[in-house]
Amino acid sequence: MNEITVNGRVYHFDDSLLDKKLLNYIREDLELTGTKNGCGVGACGACTVLIDGAAKKSCVVPLSKVVGKSVVTIEGVESSDGTLHPLQQAFIDSGAIQCGFCTPGMIMKGLDLLEKNPHPSRDEIRKAFSGNLCRCTGYQQIIDAVELYIVRTE
Amino acid sequence: MEDSEKKVFRNDAVAKVTGRAKYADDYTFHGMIHGVPVYTDSVHAEILGIDTAEAESFPGVRKVLTWKDVPGEPAWGQIEHDHYIFAREKIRYHGDVIALVVADTRDIALQAAALVKWELKELEPVLDQKTALGAKSNLVNEKFPGNKVTHHHVRRGNAEAVFPACYKIVEREFRTPFVEHAYMEPECAFANPLTDGTIELYGTFQHPFSTRRYCSAFLNRQFADFVVYSHPTGGSFGGKDDTISVIAARAALAASLLRVPVKILYDREWSFRESYKRNPYIMKYKYGLSPEGKILALNTYMLSESGGITSTTPWSTWRSTAQCAGPYVVDNVHTDVIGVATNNVFTGAMRGFGTPQVNFAIEQMMDICAEELDLDPVEFRRINMVRQDSITITGQKLDSHIVSMEEVMDKVIARSGYLENVKKSSRGKSDSDELYGTGLAISYRGSSVGAEGLDFAACMVNCQFDGSIVLDTGIHENGQGAQSVMMLALAEEFDVPLSRIRYNRSSTTSIPDSGTTVATRGTMMGVSAVRKASAKLKKIIRETLSDDFRCDPEDIRFEKDRLVAGGSYSLTWEEAMHRMFLHRTYPFAFGEYKAPRVSWDDEVGAGDAYFTYVYSCNVVELTVNKKTGKVKVIKATAGHDVGRAINPELVKGQIYGGIAQGLGMALTEDLQIEGGKIMNPNFNKYRIPKSVDMPEIEAIIIENEDRTTPSGVKGIGEPATEIAAAAIANAIYNATGVRQFSLPIKLEGAAE
């Protein structure tokens, strides 16, 4: 059996699933549906999760590549008592949410950025999100949200 | 209501940032099975036979549905009934579905779908609008002689008589392309048969009532037999009506025949292939001008490609017709707009609905005409623009609302620095590699559906005896924040905190059909219905409690979460609702709002097209790299008179997103169609704007409260996107000195 940790919980799966895409495993086997499938080819970023802390597009990652690794999905971002992560709150307060389908992926990508670069410039934030598509917002309030988070947590 | 609550309010925000919001594919039901569509590889063919035997005998397959299984209408549609649930006699476009394989798992259904066989007699594909129109044979659909699906016109004054006397005549031809909606959530529909025979439906619907109409027609069942739920939808932009309704009907048919829940989930590639796009236009514009800069006459002739199915082409082309001159007074107009059937992907509603196309032509023509007359383009617009009490080209007097075209333009010009920046524009000459240009475009847009349809909406306010309030409307949330804005309006009516109000997840059986969330009508119609219901409810509460207050009913006021009369006596909201219980009177009201009268005479080509108008102006600044031709939009300023902004941050969000979609249409989105087949059906090849493609955008909200509806609102969804491409095209001309007559604009090497 192969081991994977998702949002702090350990799961096991047999070799028959090694080719299954991480996104489908998360959604179908673990029933964590917050991670979205927008394109299936790694082009839209709606399926972004953290694998050992780094943002990856889970629709193109087979389970064989995450054996023994730790995955965080959007369901693992808020505290166990339901308190929102400050970046989630910043998305709300900046009006960064419309249809919301890209939002989980955007938040995961934002966490990855802030981990690597706690004080990104507006331009760096813009560049960080270049692999995450949004059709509703023009990205402006998403970028605002990351800036608001930085201001609030300084 | 605390002001801080108003800044950004969304009732679905926490659900959406935590991943708890449930979209169609996030639902799963016990015993659920899966459907997969079967396409042929043809775009135009007679169907001689479909053989499902091998697929049906594949282990795990429950059934393979074709047209033979359809108990009701074989084809349906919003206007013409030419959208087949399963192609029967003919294939008319590459997205036509001939069968649905239903199996225990989606994987099995996918494998079995490859085993469905068909026999076709290939026909010559009809792929070009100009040659399609007037064809005598090889028609896309025999219903439409000459492949003409619709024709609208405007006849005002006598343009042909005026042209010869004009000082200058300016004539150009423009083309706009197919544009994919690119909602981030692909289609998914899910049907669950209930024990009494009704069918529940979940799915990516922008208009549950439309879905119900398609299901009812195809299944030959009454409306009440379907319960179509509202739940989070991952974007729509006009694109989640016809196609998803037909997909839902296939799921409903399978569920009713097999008596188990059936889900159909689309890949992005199927979504691109089968779903409708924005109509491509070919537009000839001819203006006759006076030496002083007055537009004396306009002749315009347009073809709008309908593709293989009619969908809403007769309506979107009507809007193009009524707004064919832009926000300008022209006394002599001769306009024809014709919808043409082809075997390309079909077209339908997309944000803008016939105006991003005409505005691309009109607003470039304004700059071209001004240059021909050696006039400043802003002054040229000022000379001709609509003002208070102007008569439009359709003969409508603009006296119902404040005509703020000049105010909006001036505010955007002032904020953007357009007048100074336009002088800095390179016009093809620059010392560095970068050429700089700024461009402007303006528009007016009729709010709501206007004379193209019936327009009314419903709302229920159901106060509970503990003081909580359940709000229900028939306006569907597509992600723009429709529910939140109606909650804000209700909180404002009764001056109660938002925390009291819960927006009910509605369905087609819980609230009357209130029309679709299109045409920039959601906020205006929904909030108007909320106000109507609130007025009724206030009357009920006042009449019931006036004895308790020992005052006349009309003296009771709703203030700061209390009911107040005179100086001292008041009840908290909870106490008041408890008193209603003791009086055995329900604090419940149903409100309905009917939009003001509009008119259209299709014979004459004139009428009061819309009851109010949004006025808009966009200015963009960009650079063009001389060596690579790469266009970088560096700033956009957008101003809109929205009537009233109830949730301002969400209005801004609409503006930002609208600019992004206009920028995509202008620069990045290039749907490649070869032989009627889409060659780039996913986001790795069809490039919608990324974060790095977008400029900083300044949104200017202008509020001249609208008098035509109780909402005070005029809307923002479509105005936000309808002039960005035109402003970009004008900016590119100012940067390069080269006019752009078709979209998307490709400058690779052109400017070297």
Answer whether residue B177 is part of any domain.
Answer: no
Helix (H, G, I), strand (E, B) or coil at B212: helix
Alpha-carbon dihedral B644, B647, B649, B651, rounded to 10 degrees: -50
CA B3, B8, B11, B17 dihedral sign is: negative
Residues 175-234 of B with CB under 8 A from A: 181-186, 232-234
pLDDT tens digits along B488-522: 999 999 999 999 999 999 999 999 999 888 888 99
Q: Among A45, A76, A107, where does a domain finish?
A: A76
Give the pLDDT band (50/70/90) at residue B749.
Answer: low
Name B4's bridge partners: none
DSSP-derived secondary structure letter, B519? T
User: Which chain B residues are within 8 Å of A32, Cβ to Cβ?
Assistant: 19
Average pLDDT on B287-294 reads: 98
Our CA angle for A109, A114, A117, nearest 5°, is 120
Closest residue by Cα to residue B721 from B394, B175, B238: B238
Minimal Cα–Cα distance from B26 to chain A, Å?
A: 6
For residue B338, give the amino acid letter.
I
User: Which chain A residues are within 8 Å of B694, Cβ to Cβ?
Assistant: 126, 138-140
Answer whether residue B141 is part of any domain.
Answer: no
Residues B485 and B526 sit within 8 Å (Cβ to Cβ): yes
Average pLDDT on B23-46 reads: 97
The answer on A60 and A126 residing in a single domain is no
Q: Among A76, A110, A125, where does a domain finish?
A: A76
Answer whether residue B181 is part of any domain.
Answer: no
Average pLDDT on B476-493 reads: 95
Locate B432 and state its tokens. 């560095």
Q: Among B594, B611, B644, where does a domain finish?
A: B594
Range of the domain at B540: 456-594
- How many structural domains is chain A composed of? 2
With a cut of 80, say whether residue B6 has pLDDT above it: no
CB-CB under 8 Å, B235 with A139:
no
Dihedral pair phi/psi, residue B249, rounded to 5°: -65, -35
Q: How many helices (H) and strands (E) does chain B have?
A: 19, 30
Residues 626-655 of B with CB under 8 A from A: 649-650, 652-653
Q: Does the CB of B267 have a partner CB in chain A at under 8 Å? A: yes
The answer on B378 and B253 residing in a single domain is no
Range of the domain at A44: 2-76
Quick one: pLDDT at residue B752?
42
Strands B588-594 and B333-341: unpaired
The CATH number that applies at residue B325 is 3.30.365.10
Average pLDDT on B103-114 reads: 98
The answer on A112 and A66 residing in a single domain is no
Q: Which residue has the tokens 């410039």?
A: A121
The answer on B470 and B552 residing in a single domain is yes
CB-CB under 8 Å, B660 with A103:
no
User: Which chain A residues are within 8 Å of B650, Cβ to Cβ?
Assistant: 95, 98
Answer whether residue B751 is part of any domain.
Answer: no
pLDDT tens digits along A5-64: 999 999 999 999 999 999 999 999 999 999 999 999 999 999 999 999 999 999 999 999
The answer on B440 and B299 residing in a single domain is yes
pLDDT tens digits along B70-84: 999 999 999 999 999
What share of chain B has pLDDT > 90, as a percent?
Answer: 96
The CATH number that applies at residue B200 is 3.90.1170.50
Most B-contacting residue of A41, A60, A97 (CB-CB within 10 A), to test interface: A97
Average pLDDT on B470-479 reads: 94
- Average pLDDT of the residues of chain B: 96
In whole angstroms, give the CA distance from residue A57 to residue A75.
16
Q: How many helices (H) and strands (E) does chain A have?
A: 5, 5
User: Which chain B residues are within 8 Å of A77, Cβ to Cβ?
Assistant: 18
The answer on B589 and B613 residing in a single domain is no
Answer whether residue B1 is part of any domain.
Answer: no
Q: Does the CB of B657 have a partner CB in chain A at under 8 Å? A: yes
CB-CB under 8 Å, B12 with A92:
no
pTM of the model: 0.97
The answer on B438 and B344 residing in a single domain is yes
Q: Among A76, A96, A127, where does a domain finish?
A: A76
pLDDT tens digits along B621-642: 999 999 999 999 999 999 999 9
The CATH number that applies at residue A91 is 1.10.150.120
Helix (H, G, I), strand (E, B) or coil at B44: coil
Q: Among B594, B619, B648, where does a domain finish?
A: B594
In whole angstroms, give the CA distance from residue B442 to residue B419.
15
Closest residue by Cα to residue B313 from B282, B278, B275, B285: B278
DSSP-derived secondary structure letter, B227? E
Give the pLDDT band (50/70/90) at residue B750.
Answer: very low
CB-CB under 8 Å, A35 with B683:
no
Give the pLDDT band (50/70/90) at residue B2.
Answer: very low
Consecutive H or E run containing A103: helix A103-116
Q: Among B594, B620, B644, where does a domain finish?
A: B594
In whole angstroms, give the CA distance from residue B22 to residue B369.
52
Helix (H, G, I), strand (E, B) or coil at B310: coil
Could you give the ipTM of this predicted complex? 0.98
- How many structural domains is chain B composed of? 3
Give the pLDDT band (50/70/90) at residue B650.
Answer: very high
